[in-house]
Each structure stands twice: as C-alpha cells, then as structure tokens.
Structure 1
Amino acid sequence: MRNLPLPDRDSSRADLTASVREYNYKIPRGHKLKEDEIAQLLAIYDRYDADLGAASKILKGAAFPKSLIDAVYAAYDRTQEGRLLYSLRERLFKGVDLCPICGIDSVSELDHFLPRSEFKPLAIYSRNLVPSCHDCNHIKLAGFGEQADGELALIHAYFDELPNVHFLEARIDISEGGLVATFQVMTDVDLAENLRDRLKHQIKTLELNERYEKEINTYLMSHATGVHLEYARDGKAGVRRFLRTQARIEERKLYSNHWRPTLLRALSRQEDFIDGGFVGIFNVPQDILDDLFDEEG
C-alpha cells in the first residue's frame, strides 16, 4: 500500500469538450455540451478534491440532463489504446509500475475510486482514476457499489497520506515444513484517525493475505541460495544480517510497507527460521546444495 503523486487536472476541460459531443447516427446521440455545464462539471471536480475523494450525492450530478451524464459515462471508453483520451491513461500510468494497492502485479487498468456506475460525472476525472492491477480492480468491483453510510472507505492512493513509517507487519507461523505469513496493521504505530481501521478493512476486503500467500513461497525461493550460504558462513547471525540487508534494498526499490521487505524484516526476527528452520521451508535438493558449497570452496 502506497501513495501516488496527485495527478494534475489541467486537461479536464479539454477532455470534456473533446469527448462529450453530439453526433448523428440515424438519430441524434451524445450531448451538445454547453459552457455552463462544463463549469458545473468542473465544480463537481472541485468538490471531489475538497472532500478528498469521499462519496457524496452531489458528485452524482442528479441535476444534469440524462444525455449529459450518459455521455460523460461513455467517454471513459475513449481512454482505451488508440482512442481519443488514451493520453489521459498514459499520463496516469507513467512512472507507476506495480499496483499501489497490492504491490504484486503490474498496473494494467484504471480503477474508478468512486464507482463509475454510481458517480458518472467522475468517469474521466483524472483524480478519480487510480492505476491498479486486474485483480485489485475486479475484486473491488465485485464487492462495491455505492458506499453505504458508516462503511469504511478504501485507501485513496492520491488523497490518503500514508506515513513514512513501518505500519505493516507480517506474523510468521512455521509448522510441518510450511510457512504462513499473515500481514496486518501494527497496533503500536501512531496513525491518523480512522486510518488504521481503513487499512485493516482494505487488507480484508481486497483479500490481500490470500493473494500474498500465493506469492510468498515463490518469492522466498529467490533468496534460498543467499540464506544457505550465509548460514554456512556465520550461522543464524549471517542469515539475520542477510535478510535485514535485503529488506533495506527492497524497501528502497519499492516502498516501506511493500509486502516483500515487510516479510523479510519479519523473518529476520523469527528465531526458528534463521537458526536452520529455513531448510525445511526451502527444501533445496542436497545435490544442488553440495554443488553450491563446492563452488564457494
């Protein structure tokens, strides 16, 4: 979970005027956009910004003609590759590699933070469009319509400022040759009001622990060689040092609360793991280990 830079909205007027138009195909379709309607749509954008992306009825544009609402809603389809608003998609994707929600997969879709189906005036507003991976976007779509009163909102990658401290931890359980890591929000870290509950809500709602479970074993195997060598050189102290160093490297490459450095930090504190327990987890064939140690001399 990480923040993304707040996108500019300099093209908002141009995006609306270019994509919301009246055209004829046997019968008139679309909408002939008026100057006062542009001003009202931009005012809705202003309200969205002022409320930091919080849902409200005013953002639905109930007073607008249906033809205008439907035209703005349909304009989102023009953000696809080769179409009129593709440059908007390109700008939002630029510099964002991994999904800011899960940190597992590359970004491939734009998530409407407030659902497009309910908040049609925001369908092509840059600050309501968050780059995400397919799984995060579609799990969210499957579980959310309009946010109910009192329901916790998911974290907004643009507006919810996450502190630059470690607030995510992994609880490690090793049994019967298996390793299970459960990610959770730390209880002893000072977080803004309501932020802790929303982070916990996001982990549960987007099934992040279940999804991380599928990634952990494959990821850990990439460190099997280093862990075995450090254990042979300096026992558990060597393994602890290796894991902590690798956590710092990955934290700088990714971000503080990415699941990978969080997992490595947790493993560096897991005495059973660093004192030989990793052998059963990695389960590296002995002939490969023999070759490894021979090469090391």
Structure 2
Amino acid sequence: MMRLKAPKHSFLNSIDKCCDGITGNNVLKNKVIQSKNALEAFEQVYSASGQTGELFTFAPLKCGKNDDPVVLGNLTKSELVKLYDSYFVGSKKPGRSIYNSLMLAADEKCPFCGGIGRPRNLDHYLPKAHFPFFSVLPINLVPSCRDCNMDGKGQGFAISKGMQVIQPYLDDLKFFNEQWIYASYTPGVNDEPGTFVYSVNPPENWDIEEKKRVHTHFKDFDLAVRYATKAAEELITCLTQINSLKSLNIPDNQIKQALIEPVIAQAPFVNHWRRGMYQAIGQILLNGD
C-alpha cells in the first residue's frame, strides 16, 4: 500500500552479480550463464503482468517438498534458490550490493503495512519455493518487516486476481493514490479514551477484483488491529490537545482547522493510519455527533 520506485537494477544486473560471486562451483556458474537469456526474458513478462494485476497467472512449480526438478535449462529448483540464498544475500558476495540497495530504497518503512514495521529482509512477492526462476529478480523482492513477511504473507501466493496483495513496485497507482482505508471512532465514557475501528471501503468506480484485492491486503497484513493499535497510542495526546483548546473556549471549527486538518493533509499517504484516525476524530468529536 506504499508505492516503491522500481529498482534501478535489472534482472540481468542481478544475475551477473550473482555469477561474479560464484567461486569454486563452475558447474553452477556455467548453468546460470547458459540460462541467462531465458531468465532475463522473464523480467518483461513479470513487469507487464504486475502492472495489470495478473501475477497470479504464473504457474507455481508443482513438485514435492523434497523434490528437486529441473526448472529452466539445466538449472534445478535448489540451484535457483541457492542463487539467492548464497550469492545474493551472502554478506561478502557482489550480489549483496543489490540486496542492500533494495533495502535502502524502502527508507526504513515496510510498504506492505504502510510503514508500521521496519524492513528486516527482502520478501519474494512470488515465493522462491514455488517460483524459483524469480529468486533474484529485483522487482519480485520487496523490503518487508518481520510481521508482514512471516505472519502476513509468508510462503502463500494468489491463485486468483482478487487474492493478490498489493505489489509495491508495479501495481496500479489507484491503490496508492486513492483512499480505501477508513476509521470510525467511538468516544469513551467517564473521560476514558475511546476506540478506533479501521475498515475497507474502496471507491465505487473500482471493479470487483480491485475491491477484493484491497480487502485481501487489509486482512492478510492484519491492518485493522495494527492500525487501531497505532491510533490508540496517539489518542491520549490528541485528546489532551483538543481539551486544552476547548478550555480556552476556542470554537470546534477552529480546533478542527488548527489541529485536525493539518494532520490529515500531511499524512505520508492517503491510506495512512494517522489520516484515518484524525478524519474519524474530526467527525465525531468536533462535529458534535
């Protein structure tokens, strides 16, 4: 739900860097070099499919957990997985420079959860266990926090358009520029803080599959709970500021203009938890509802 700029490194860059790091295993290195053109051809297909929401159309590798079939050319599943694990992630390997570049591009904010978590590693949007030919494809590697990577997405993958979570590099800009997450606020009793409930309400003009996708993303990454938790942490400060202004007999509409509207306008992106929080507070507390 946070847009990331497309990686500056191509699939070919990534493959070449991995090959530069393969020492003492000329068999694997030669296999990768021989399959380089075939691997590179996947990049354009992946990019085009991502831009139209069709990444679910890629067929996963069908094999048992302990099987190691030939996947592309002479490259086996385990060899393509090893390309990432040993020659892309390895701290002393040339491929690590691309890994680090992808991590830094996220600016310490996980794009899946809207920056609540801090990226800890790269998540394979299409998991390498099922799609090993994309193991070192930069646009398939998304900086992700531990919660989103392990608990949210894990090794799952979509088998229909509506099951796909948002692809931060490639998806339609509507998912990033139009609001589809909103909050409601129920005031507390006896001066106790109230509660927030976040929910999905995509624009009416979106098609049914686009609406399903944001519901899927919201659910898979547990954003209802994670957003409400962040809002609750900020609520006391917000209420204190509002009550202080009210004690000075400042009209509600002026409080809204001075305190609420600037936060809404300055939220990092339209579906940020803070934007929804202050929209809800503005409606309930300052409109007298």
Q: Shorter chain as normaliser: what TM range?
A: 0.7 to 0.9
Q: Deviations over 1:58-82 (max 9, x none)?
A: 6759642564432221222332544
1:36 Cα shift?
Answer: 4.2
Q: Deviations over 1:72-108 (max 9, x none)?
A: 2122233254443221122223342321221212222
- CA gap of 1:146–1:36, structure 2 versus 1, over 3 A, is same
Taking only aligned residues, the RMSD between alpha carbons, in angstroms, comes to: 3.0
After TM superposition, list the pairs within 5 Å mapping 1:125-140 onto structure 2: 125-140=137-152
After TM superposition, list the pairs within 5 Å mapping 1:1-297 onto structure 2: 1-10=1-10, 12-20=11-19, 24=24, 30-33=28-31, 35-52=33-50, 54-57=55-58, 60=61, 63-64=71-72, 67-77=75-85, 78-79=88-89, 81-97=91-107, 98-103=109-114, 104-142=116-154, 144-149=155-160, 152-163=163-174, 164-176=177-189, 177-192=192-207, 194-233=209-248, 234-241=250-257, 242-249=259-266, 251=267, 254-270=268-284, 273-274=285-286
**4+ runs deviating over 4 angstroms:** 20-25, 57-63, 65-68
What is the count of residue pairs matched by the alignment? 268
Structure whose CA Rg is larger: 1
- CA gap of 1:181–1:189, structure 2 versus 1, over 3 A, is farther
Gaps of 5+ in 1: 278-297
SS at match of 1:269: helix
Report if aligned partners of 1:79, 1:89 keep a CA contact under 8 Å in 2: yes
TM-score (norm 2): 0.79
Report if aligned partners of 1:30, 1:68 keep a CA contact under 8 Å in 2: no
What is the percent sequence identity of the aligned residues?
20
Supply the AA of the counterpart residue of 2:265.
R
Q: Distance in 2 between the 1:80 and 1:237 partners?
A: 57
Q: Distance in 2 between the 1:46 and 1:188 partners?
A: 30
Q: Distance in 2 between the 1:238 and 1:231 partners?
A: 10
Q: Distance in 1 between the 2:95 and 2:237 partners?
A: 40
Q: Distance in 2 between the 1:87 and 1:62 partners?
A: 28
Q: Deviations over 1:166-209 (max 9, x none)?
A: 33211222344342222222255433552221101111121111
Gaps of 5+ in 2: 62-68
Q: Distance in 2 between the 1:34 and 1:66 partners?
A: 9
Structure with the larger RCO, 1 or 2 (CA within 8 Å, 6+ apart): 2
